[in-house]
Amino acid sequence: MLNPLAAAPRRARRLDRAIAIAGGAASFSTLAVFGWIVWDLIRLGLPNLSWHFLTGEVETAGRSGGIGPVLVSTLLILLCCLAVAVPLGIGCAVWLSEFVRRGSRASRIVTGGVDLLASVPSIVFGLFGMTFFCQVLGLGFSILSGGLTLACMILPILVRTTLLALEGLPADLRPGAAALGLTRTTTLRQVLLPTALPGILVAITLGVGRALSETAALLFTSGYSTRWPDSLGESGRALSVHIYDLAMNIPNGSPNASASALVLLVLILLINLTATGLTERWTRHLSGTTS
């Protein structure tokens, strides 16, 4: 006779196995597609990759030659971006964490603004950057304009991650410093910021990764020039824009686009690994404090 107690588990086991297979397939295929993309980029890009490619001039609109000037422009755009975004973002986070009460109106308004900024699509940053930096401030299509536009874009990630780092500090550091008669400035400079440094580095690394992978915000701000840049006021093409242009606008640009995409991918992977490594160090660093 049918035993209901025996029947139920069998059905449950079958369902269990179905979930395992479906979930496993979903997980595996996600990672497999990732592997596929990487493999394709290596397959298409590696043959064109060489030292000369990394350092050479851009020739025939990118079809031949290298990406030397593009890498330099990218680096300069990144430096402009960080020079503005890092002080702004860290300053904002420090103010939110150390100088206003959490949940106060001022804190809610500023975090709300920063979170809204995070939701702005990157193409809109491009639109804004083109109008504000290039036209209103008269910077034209330049490395500076591109860097400033990116700075606006990575600001939220810097603020949020730095804030997380500061809020993750052991709570008793602050009264401890106050009880020794330290000013808030000294407490910040000598105690809190050095302790939060790994976390702040994570914030900067994430910002660099975001900035480096951005294309849309740079299309109409940093320009397309492929010459070696002489100054920040000149137009300069970022690596991501170079890939886009080669793939979309240059017939037979694909081989060099592949190699450029591979370079960008490797850079991003390195940056991500740095961020992961820093995060792990940071967690260990803090767990030493709590024991």
CA distance 128 to 135: 10
What are the distances in angstroms from CA 135 to CA 128, 132, 213, 269? 10, 6, 25, 35
Instruction: Give me the least distance between CB of 198 and other proteins, in Å please.
Output: 11
Nearer residue to other proteins within complex by CB, 66 or 260: 260
One-letter identity of residue 159: V
Q: Which is nearer to other proteins, 47 or 112 (CB)?
A: 112
84, two tokens:
């503005």
Task: Between 152 and 204, name the residue whose CB sits nearer to other proteins.
Answer: 152
In angstroms, the CA 82 to CA 191 distance is: 24
CB of 16 to other proteins, least distance (A): 4
Query: What are the residues whose beta carbons fall under 8 Å from the beta carbon of 203, sequence distance 6 or more?
Result: 89, 90, 157, 158, 160, 161, 162, 165
Alpha helices in 168-253 (DSSP H): 173-179, 184-186, 193-213, 239-249
Taking the complex as a whole, how short is the minimal distance between the CB of residue 14 and other proteins, in angstroms?
A: 9
Cβ proximity to other proteins: between 189 and 231 the closer is 189
CB of 122 to other proteins, least distance (A): 6
Residue nearer to other proteins on the CB measure, 6 or 248? 248
Q: Select 72 or 120, whichever has its Cβ closest to other proteins.
A: 120
Q: Which is nearer to other proteins, 183 or 231 (CB)?
A: 183
Chain centroid to Cα 5, Å, comes to 54
CA–CA–CA angle 125, 127, 130 (5° rounding): 105
> Alpha-carbon distance 83 to 144, whole Å?
11
Distance CA 10, CA 8 (A): 5
Closest CB 137 distance from other proteins, rounded Å:
12
Q: Whole-number minimum distance, CB 76 to other proteins, in Å? A: 19
Task: State the alpha helices, DSSP H only, in 47-104.
Answer: 51-55, 68-94
Report the nearest approach of other proteins to the CB of residue 139 (Å): 15
Looking at residue 192, the DSSP 8-state letter turns out to be: I
Q: Are 48 and 258 in contact (CB under 8 A)?
A: yes
Q: Which is nearer to other proteins, 19 or 79 (CB)?
A: 19
> Least distance to other proteins from the beta carbon of 234, Å?
18
